[in-house]
Amino acid sequence: MPSPHEQTEVDFLKSYDASTFERPSLTVDMVIFTILERPLQNYRKLPEKDLCVLLIKRGGHPFKDRWALPGGFVRPTENLEQAAIRELAEETGMENIYMEQLYTWGDLGRDPRTWVVSCSYMALIDATRIKLAAGDDAVDARWFRVSKKLKQEKRKAMRGGSMVKQQYSLVLSADDVTTETWLEKTVTKLGRRQTEEERILKPGELAFDHARMIGYAVDRLRNKIEYLAFNLMPEYFTLTQLQQVYETILGCELLKANFRRKIEDKVIETDFMTDGDRYRPSRLFKVKQDSV
């Protein structure tokens, strides 16, 4: 038998024992965002909007009857992106929409069944184009309003660096269901090295570590809003509607003049107007293709 140094790659692969190292199960989890309008309270004003995330109610163990992100195990015949596209189509019936990979979650004990590594994806869709349908392993599917707010921050100087500890509240609500999760993030800087740790202080009614995934996706959406917000818009929109979406995601009001200067090179004015049945007709715009 040839020594390892004399083996060809073909011979090596023939004798390779894949069971030498324990392998984790691999899943994808989908953070699917949309913008929904609240019921109209005053016909003279535009409806207020909410950032919403799609959650499913689990029909089986573990975390039976708890709310979770849609997702599933990656099949041996597909790569990560193909699995994410399949899961997205199964839950929403939609294809060819904006999707990006977020983060890989591999903490020990994150799934009580076995060692599971999950790759999360964020998708942005126009909710008016879809009809929700719970998958085979779910008993319900709903849009939940999302609110993530910083509640407490502590800073500590250390020899050669610093530490910042932040606590966030993540509130998800839909009809008669509201769940609140508390997250704690610790950022430590020592010299040129920076480490981040996050843990769930209060899990609420969410399954697995999906509260962390949602919180991470909210931050990504806020940080990249100038590139991502248009994926939540219909084909034609007013600038006021677009500003509403920005304010909904960021959680703050924006000055109209500053906002319009910021986005003027990202939109195209059309010849269409709103019908003006409740408000004065407004000019409709659409996004420049190189802005999404």
Q: What residue spans define the domains of the chain?
A: 25-223, 229-291
Q: What's the rounded Cα separation, in Å, for the pair 285 and 205? A: 40
Tokens encoding 229: 């917000």
Is 71 within 8 Å of 30 (Cβ atoms)? yes
In the block, residue with structure tokens 């990560």 = 80
Is 34 within 8 Å of 125 (Cβ atoms)? yes
Which pLDDT band, with edges at 50, 70 and 90, does 272 fall under? confident
Q: What's the rounded Cα separation, in Å, for the pair 51 and 145? A: 6
Q: Answer whether 25-223 and 229-291 agree in fold.
A: no
Q: What's the rounded Cα separation, in Å, for the pair 220 and 226? A: 11
Per the confidence metrics, is the pTM higher than 0.85? yes
142 pLDDT higher than 60: yes
Is 97 within 8 Å of 124 (Cβ atoms)? yes
Dihedral sign, Cα of residue 73, residue 75, residue 81, residue 82: negative
Q: What's the rounded Cα separation, in Å, for the pair 85 and 77? A: 14
CATH class of 229-291: mainly alpha
pLDDT in tens, 205-245: 999 999 999 999 999 999 999 989 999 998 899 999 999 99
Given this model, what pLDDT does residue 135 score?
60
Contacts of 81 (CB under 8 A, 6+ apart): 101
Given this model, what pLDDT does residue 139 score?
77
Which pLDDT band, with edges at 50, 70 and 90, does 40 fall under? low
In 3D space, the residue among 127, 138, 120, 122 whose CA is nearest the CA of residue 67 turns out to be 138
Architecture per CATH, domain 25-223, reads as Alpha-Beta Complex (3.90)
Q: What's the rounded Cα separation, in Å, for the pair 121 and 99? A: 7
Q: What's the rounded Cα separation, in Å, for the pair 36 and 49? A: 6
138 pLDDT higher than 70: no
Is 205 within 8 Å of 66 (Cβ atoms)? yes
The more confidently predicted of residues 171 and 281 is 171
